[in-house]
Amino acid sequence: MLNNRQEHKGIRLILIGLGNIGRRFLSILDRKAAHLDARYGLTFKLVGAADSQGAAFHPRGLDVATVIGLKGQKRSVADYADCGSPGMAALELVQRVEADALCEASPVNLQTGEPGLSCMRTALSKGMHVVTDNKGPLVLAFAELAALARQKGVELRFSGTVGGGLPAINLGQRDLGGATIEKLEALPNLTTSFILDQMARGLSYAQALAAAQAQGCAEADPSLDVDGWDAANKLVILAHSVLGVPATLADVQVQGITQITVADLEKAQAEGKAIKLVAQAVRQANGTYALTVAPTALPASHPLARLSGQQMGIVYHTDIYGTISAAITEEEPIPSAAAMLRDLLSIYA
Amino acid sequence: MLNNRQEHKGIRLILIGLGNIGRRFLSILDRKAAHLDARYGLTFKLVGAADSQGAAFHPRGLDVATVIGLKGQKRSVADYADCGSPGMAALELVQRVEADALCEASPVNLQTGEPGLSCMRTALSKGMHVVTDNKGPLVLAFAELAALARQKGVELRFSGTVGGGLPAINLGQRDLGGATIEKLEALPNLTTSFILDQMARGLSYAQALAAAQAQGCAEADPSLDVDGWDAANKLVILAHSVLGVPATLADVQVQGITQITVADLEKAQAEGKAIKLVAQAVRQANGTYALTVAPTALPASHPLARLSGQQMGIVYHTDIYGTISAAITEEEPIPSAAAMLRDLLSIYA
């Protein structure tokens, strides 16, 4: 992280999506501005931002605190004085505004990937780097986006899409060079971990789900999480980015946690095990990977067995690097938002 | 890890040190040659090698299997037919032979850093990249070597020096961008973990040490490990490379495990805790770090508490990335040797 270079770089950013992640990302940029300048010689300038109501942009940069303030008042960034443009679509913003990198944090859309997918395509085509926390476009169009980035000589980074702030993808891409990954196991979904954790303490599935919803860690419609599809999405991204396998959701055998009972958890506990929703890729004799998401009883010695409802983790079983595991405790989605900063620094620092 | 580029690169390596790590590194290179070619378009060619008896070199490359064979017969690489040079020092090899990268795996010498330190200085000065598993030169001359690498525009990589194959340094350097590290805790020493593990099963310190020595996981003179200095060396490297602190061994408060009794371990167990030799850096109010190595009773919920005698681990407590931990199960030092391949690929792939 040391950087003794003296030159100073100004980086122009466009941010799409001003929800939980986008706003936290802006707060981090704001809070860390002096540190990023001193340590890396970098100034990030927000030249454009869009939410679902419109956009705002200015070539000299928007005031980040003002944008955060508008969102805190449940208003749109389009209300930004003199710079706002109500009704302007995110895609139009990306098309019109000159910037160095797109930060894409719009809502996950697993049917179309929009608006993120078009924004990412456009940004890459314009020669902008793209960092994103948005799984949708990657699950739907990983190969296309990666090829476009290569062709344009720019970076596409997405370390926050699997396990929030956990560097699951970076570990697999950067630290296992030359290895054969025999097996990968992950707990990439906080909602299901939280629910199973509560059920292990005696709550019924319905009670645990209600507790998760009350804490804001489950959606009103929890099906994406509890049916295992969120974990499957993350497994597809790991398959592309780490295993080199162009998988789609159709390649993943998915089973959620809705059939798990307190009796199942008690039985596992009695055997010294813990039931977790594990996303897994197992290398087959022919070199392909079997991809599954399923509730799995893990023995107490397993690195993922003792993770709590606020932790996510991954284990890589390799031929030459032994077994490497990593976990994150993420009580709020701040690390997920910080992952976009990590990705920017991996490009520019 | 994907690399779709078509160009092919041949990389000329010099390897210093043909002990446990050096030989295993050569075995990995040999075994992975086809994979490295297919996946990364890279061919590594061993143009020079040295052990304590002499050296061998050839511009078209030595046969790796022949070098491994000689060492398997307890002979010197200097006995390599037509290419061997008995009595040639490692430093002379580095001075005379043209190569792209130095792989430095000579024995750790904490008094002088030699022969590794001079070889690394010379290689960097010649514009060669350096990858090393050797703590000695880094503990003694980190700042000098890092500055020399920067000045020459080459890479100095040493991911295997802390925790073997555990990417402890990479995690800290690459995945925590922009963060303040509030605290770092590591179990970077297998010998002490093994001994404490055996003592927790009821063996006395002397019995556990003897078991470690019988398994080859403790030296005949175990003081470097059991007195905490090996862990302290690794903490100094973490301080320089991750925390940006130019620490020396004199800055680390060190306490080993020789005073720990079975009664201490039993008392900790009764309290639900486990005693581990923890290397720790704690950020102070003034921004400096307090560096300590000491036996520490960790609560069961601590990510390092349940690591076995064959595991090493690290935990980073940060402001914006939550708490991130990583661990490795390393039953043989193959991952430590593979770390030099990881470092080479991080430079060339």
* Chain B (170-209) residues lying within 8 Å, Cβ to Cβ, of chain A: 170-180
| pLDDT tens-place string over residues B39-60 | 999 999 999 999 999 999 999 9
Which one is catalytic: A9, A32, A135, A234? A234
The catalytic site residues of B sit at 234
- Identity of the residue in A244, A323, A328 whose CB atom sits nearest the CB atom of B329: A323
Nearest residue in A to B344, CA atom: A177
Residues A122/A97, Cβ–Cβ less than 8 Å: no
Classify the C-alpha dihedral B120-A320-B236-B322 as positive or negative: positive
Residue B243 has pLDDT above 50, yes or no: yes
Query: Which of B301, B306, B326, B331 has its CA nearest to residue B316?
Result: B326
> Is A45 tagged catalytic?
no
Query: Which of A162, A212, A150, A152 has its CA nearest to residue A187?
Result: A162
Residue A8's pLDDT is what?
Answer: 81
Burial letters B206-241, b for 16+ CB under 10 A, else e = eebbebbeeeebbeeebebbbbbbbbbbbbbbbbbb
Query: Confidence class of residue B4 from pLDDT cuts 50, 70 and 90?
Result: very low
Strand partners, B181: B318
A298 CB-near residues (< 8 Å, 6+ apart) = A273, A274, A275, A276, A278, A304, A305
Please tell me if residue B35 touches chain A, with a CB cutoff of 8 Å.
Answer: yes
DSSP label at residue A303:
T
Please tell me if residue B32 touches chain A, with a CB cutoff of 8 Å.
Answer: yes
pLDDT beneath 70, residues of chain A: 1-7
Q: How far is B26 from A113, CA to CA, in rounded Å?
A: 46
- Provide, as residue numbers in chain B, all residues whose Cβ is less than 8 Å from the Cβ of A172: 1
Please tell me if residue B159 touches chain A, with a CB cutoff of 8 Å.
Answer: yes
Q: Stretch B184-198: mean pLDDT, rounded?
A: 95
Residue B216's pLDDT is what?
Answer: 85
CA angle (B111, B113, B115) in 5-degree steps: 125
To test the contact with chain A by mutation, choose from B42, B323, B344 the residue with the greatest count of A C-beta atoms within 10 A, namely B323
Cβ atoms within 10 A of the Cβ of B34, count? 8
Q: How many helices (H) and strands (E) does chain B have?
A: 12, 13
Q: Give the lowest-confidence range in A2-11, B11-20, B327-336.
A: A2-11
Residue A16's pLDDT is what?
Answer: 98
Query: Which of B348, B191, B162 has its CA nearest to residue B277?
Result: B191
Residue B331's pLDDT is what?
Answer: 81
CA angle (B308, B309, B310) in 5-degree steps: 90
Pair of tokens at residue B247: 């620490």
CA–CA distances in Å: residue A309 to residues A159, A333, B321:
21, 14, 17
DSSP label at residue B113:
-
Residue B323's pLDDT is what?
Answer: 97
Contact B1 A173 (CB under 8 A): yes
Nearest residue in B to A238, CA atom: B1
Strand partners, A315: A185, A325
- Identity of the residue in B32, B170, B303 whose CB atom sits nearest the CB atom of A174: B170
* φ, ψ at A57 (rounded to 5°): -160, 150
- Identity of the residue in A1, A2, A322 whose CB atom sits nearest the CB atom of B331: A322
Residue A9's pLDDT is what?
Answer: 87
Query: Confidence class of residue B89 from pLDDT cuts 50, 70 and 90?
Result: very high
Please tell me if residue B338 touches chain A, with a CB cutoff of 8 Å.
Answer: yes
- Identity of the residue in B174, B176, B324 whose CB atom sits nearest the CB atom of A326: B324
Helix (H) or strand (E) holding B328: strand B323-329
Query: Which of A164, A156, A188 has its CA nearest to residue A291?
Result: A188
- Beta strand A273-283 with A289-299 is antiparallel
* DSSP-derived 3-state class of residue A258: coil
Amino acid identity, position B130 = V
- Provide, as residue numbers in chain A, all residues whose Cβ is less than 8 Å from the Cβ of B170: 174-175
Residues B90/B106, Cβ–Cβ less than 8 Å: yes
CA–CA distances in Å: residue B198 to residues A164, A265, A322, B194, B211:
37, 32, 22, 6, 8
CA distance B83 to chain A (A): 29
Cβ atoms within 10 A of the Cβ of B295, count? 20
